[in-house]
Structure 1
């Protein structure tokens, strides 16, 4: 639940759950580059500066999830330059990758938004698709009751 608390505090402080807006407000440089098709993005910490690199060839939803994932690294692992987020990294059991994925899921699918959808016939998978969260990481969502 500690990751959810970090996310909740960020959303409250910046008034948004948009990872691009939060990164901008925190002076984190978000750069798009033409990266190899397997690479979604990565996070770099260089001389007290934070950078999020995103593959410019991704769909907008993938860019948003990648930005949220890399923002997670900047919040949870701020001094660690992380390996590339690859397509197969979504299945990673590596602790820092799982934590960044959980951060992204919590940021992009806040509890209050999901509770509002409970009156509809939408499934959690439908909501994940709506918010650009890959099914592979959906099991990382934790609810506060």
Structure 2
């Protein structure tokens, strides 16, 4: 629940759920780079500077999900450089990957979606997020 509380505090403080805007407010540099097709993005901490690097070849809605995930790392694992976010990251059992996914789910999927729409697929499609993020958020609501 602490991730949900932290996410709600950020959304309220900065009046946005956009990961790019939040990163900007928090002085976390977000940049796009032409990365290998298996790498969606990564987070890097270097000399008190924080960076989120996103694969420029990804579709815009996927880049937003990657930004939200890496922002989770920047907030909760500040001094840990994450090697990369790949397609398999959503299946990861690693604690830090799961926390970053929970943050992305809380940031990008409003709670109200679960009372307004009937299926997980509909919610994923509406918010343009992977179904795994919707399932993860659904687990937390139960």
**TM-score bracket relative to the smaller structure:** over 0.9
Uncovered stretches (5+) of structure 2, i.e. residues with no partner: none
Instruction: Check whether the contact 2:42–2:53 (CA below 8 A) recurs between aligned residues.
Output: yes
What's the offset of the Cα at 1:138? 2.3
Residue of 127, 132, 135 corresponding to 2:128: 132
What's the offset of the Cα at 1:24? 0.8
The reply on whether 1:143 has 2:141 as its aligned counterpart is yes
Instruction: Check whether the contact 1:50–1:74 (CA below 8 A) recurs between aligned residues.
Output: yes
Question: Which residue in 1 is equivalent to 2:119?
Answer: 123
What's the offset of the Cα at 1:83? 1.8
Uncovered stretches (5+) of structure 1, i.e. residues with no partner: none
String of CA shifts for 1:38-63, please: whole Å, max 9, x gaps. 10000000111110000000001110
- What secondary structure sits across from 1:83 in the alignment? strand
Instruction: Check whether the contact 1:64–1:132 (CA below 8 A) recurs between aligned residues.
Output: no
What's the offset of the Cα at 1:143? 2.8
The alignment's C-alpha RMSD in Å is: 1.5
Residues of 2 paired with 1:9 and 1:122: CA distance? 28
Residues of 1 paired with 2:104 and 2:93: CA distance? 16
**Structure 1 ranges of 4+ moved more than 6 A:** none
What's the offset of the Cα at 1:89? 1.4
Q: Where in structure 2 are the equivalents of 1:1-145 lying within 5 Å?
A: 1-112=1-112, 114=113, 118=116, 122-141=118-137, 142-143=140-141
What's the offset of the Cα at 1:122? 4.4
- Aligned positions, number: 140
